[in-house]
């Protein structure tokens, strides 16, 4: 990934998993952070090292009760890769992403074939409640 393809600034990988994207972006000088829902007893084996370091440094954070643990308007860019098929509360997740996204920010989401980009766009646009609260159209 090139920094210019994401736009300059601070990036959130929503649903970051083992934080491979976060690690890659940070290795290229991009201020990248991750957030995910983790579960007790999670053990990814010997490959845990970089992920555990990012977690303990606060670069990767746990989403608890649907809340992304970053301040309002923190991120210039939010990315996700194959995440939305695992999200039960789409409206809540969308509202949280909009909350932590800067007013001029952008989101880039890759979805599996069962969730088309048009379907995702319609779902975001149908959430008039959070658009009213946050005052920004998609």
Hey, what are 37's tokens? Answer: 């829902």
- pLDDT bin (cut points 50, 70, 90) of residue 137 is very low
Q: Name the helix (H) or strand (E) containing 38.
A: none
| Strand duo 11-14 + 60-62: pairing | unpaired
Domain that holds residue 50: 3-134
Does pTM surpass 0.85? no
CATH assignment at residue 17: 3.40.50.150
Contact call for residues 51 and 18 (beta carbons, < 8 A) = yes
In the predicted structure, residue 94 carries a pLDDT above the cut 70: yes
DSSP per-residue string spanning 87-109: -S-HHHHHHHHHHHEEEEEEEEE
pLDDT of residue 130: 42
Between 47 and 30, whose confidence is greater? 30
- pLDDT bin (cut points 50, 70, 90) of residue 53 is confident
pLDDT of residue 22: 93
Q: Report long-range pairs for 46-50 (Cβ below 8 Å, ≥24 apart).
A: 47/18, 50/19, 50/23
**Which residue in 83, 103, 106, 98 sits closest to 131, CA to CA?**
98
- pLDDT bin (cut points 50, 70, 90) of residue 48 is low
Q: Determine what percent of the chain is predicted with pLDDT higher than 90.
A: 39
- How many structural domains is the chain composed of? 1
């Amino acid at each position: 990934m090139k920094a210019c393809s994401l736009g300059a600034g601070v990036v959130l990988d929503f649903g970051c998993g083992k934080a491979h994207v976060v690690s890659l972006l940070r290795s290229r000088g991009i201020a990248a952070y991750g957030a995910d829902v983790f579960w007790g007893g999670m053990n990814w084996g010997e490959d845990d090292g970089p992920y555990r370091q990012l977690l303990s440094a606060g670069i990767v954070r746990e989403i608890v009760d649907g809340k992304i643990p970053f301040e309002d308007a923190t991120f210039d860019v939010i990315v996700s890769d194959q995440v939305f098929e695992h999200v039960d509360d789409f409206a809540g997740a969308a509202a949280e992403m909009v909350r932590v996204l800067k007013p001029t920010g952008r989101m880039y989401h890759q979805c599996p074939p069962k969730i088309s980009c048009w379907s995702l766009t319609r779902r975001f646009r149908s959430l008039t409640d959070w658009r009213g609260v946050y005052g920004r159209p998609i």
